[in-house]
Amino acid sequence: MPQVLNIAYTSKPVSRSGAIVIYVAENGVPDGLAEPIWARTGLDFKNVAGATGFAGKPGHMIDLVTPSGLDCDRLVVLGRGRNGDMSGETVWADRGGSLFAKLDSLGVDSAAVVIDEPGQSPDGVAALLAGLRLRQYSFDRYKTAEPANGKSTNLAVTVHLRSEDGMESALAQRMATVEGTLLARTLVNEPPNVLGPVEFSAHANLLSEFGIEVEILAPEDMEKLGMGALLAVAQGSERPARLVVMQWKGGAKEAAPLAFVGKGVVFDTGGISIKPALPMFDMKGDMGGAAAVTGLMKTLALRKAPINAVGIIGLVENMPDGKAYRPGDIVTAMSGKTIEIINTDAEGRLVLADALWYTQSRFKPSAIIDLATLTGAVTIALAHDHAAVFSNDDALADRLIRAGLASGEKCWRMPMSPAYAKLIESRFADMKNSGGRPAGSITAAQFLAHFIGDVPWAHIDIAGTAFGVPNTETNTSWGTGFGVALLDRLVRDHYENQG
């Protein structure tokens, strides 16, 4: 049975709880709201800290079982680091993740967490609570056996503060981002036999419950529009393609929307240019961009973001069937441009080519941002710590970099230039879909630029950050949901209330 996590906050004194948690600064002693709680134990804090090696650094812990003078099963003292180290929201979120891990390991069913320290703000505390929820997430719906650890399936965490001012709004905003991130994680984690293009589009259609307008285009609709690039990728699969359009209308009626486009290759064999067998199972995550866009749209709706936004995802499966497209084929994109197929494993850019052209043609957006697990090359350049940003607009690129630092979903800008564009010139068509191994992530971005007009545009290659990354304080899931928090922060900081 999945664990249920209940989160609350209050300015009332601590009452009966399975665990009471207090924080102590590096080389400090319990102070503020924590001081009278520790005093009730009758113990000398410096002696206990010395005996346990506790110095107040992050990760340090004192765990007192059935402490005298307190109505709890255990008193947990956690290191908060040096004063002044907790100003960033990402640090607070990490603290929440590590707190959940400790409470989960203790097997308690309730915890009262006392927060009273320099740098405390409603946004910081909301980030801590969000970190709890992010770390608690697990994808185990296909496991039939219950875990044999004997732990409670319910955990109630109440944060005790001096003041509740600003908490309701801060927590609602932050949890909306969490819900979008967890939706994206779940979509990425789903097995490919369960989540095909049709099933994915059904998940997206559920967002209509939150006020999002959803349209789903079938292959015949895309054929009428001339989406020969996207449909070429899909033609080798028995599972029909879908293009999903999600609109959130929270801004002024006449305001141009901000557009988000996601690559949704629900499984990628590489097609005729088939991938090696060993890492192919990871390719159920090749729809991480579409998952992030879907999660973002849910977040914007949940927090009733004052902006017009459109999310468009192209959903296909790339299979090596007798009807599959081949190396050497020439296909015609919706824009009318022709593409020579060099490698059928360079398929995501074909999906995006038609999705991007459709987006700007129909919606005339103020800016377009696409997300895609596009190239293995980006992991060679940046590994799993940063996503790559390519852009035709310096201001947009800079905003994404700053939003990445603020949200913890970091980005690094990569170059684009005519010299790289030359690598995808074709002898037989307007362009070819692969420039080979050199600068692979850059030539992929140069390819996408052919399907962008004058609109500010950014392409984010999340192949190294969307799945299979090392565990963090806030994520132990295979799918990360990367991109939801990044783009929500971008929207909040730069695009809301703009008319």
- Residues annotated as catalytic (active site), given as ranges: 275, 349
Task: List the 61-65 sheet strands across, edge first.
Answer: 4-10, 154-160, 110-114, 17-24, 72-79, 61-65
DSSP structure class, residue 415: -
64 bridge partner residues:
75
Ramachandran bin of 475, using left for φ above 0, alpha for ψ from -120 to 50, beta for the remaining angles: beta
Q: How far apart (Å, rounded) are the C-alpha atoms in residues 21 and 99?
A: 9
What contacts 24+ positions apart, CB below 8 Å, involve 213-222? Answer: 213/246, 213/247, 213/248, 213/249, 214/244, 214/245, 214/246, 214/247, 215/244, 215/245, 216/242, 216/243, 216/244, 216/245, 217/242, 217/243, 217/244, 217/245, 218/242, 222/354
Instruction: Give the pair of three-digit tokens for residue 374.
Output: 């596009």
Handedness of CA 124, 126, 130, 133 (dihedral sign): positive
Beta-carbon count within 10 A of 392 CB: 18
Instruction: Give the pair of three-digit tokens for residue 209.
Output: 């419950």
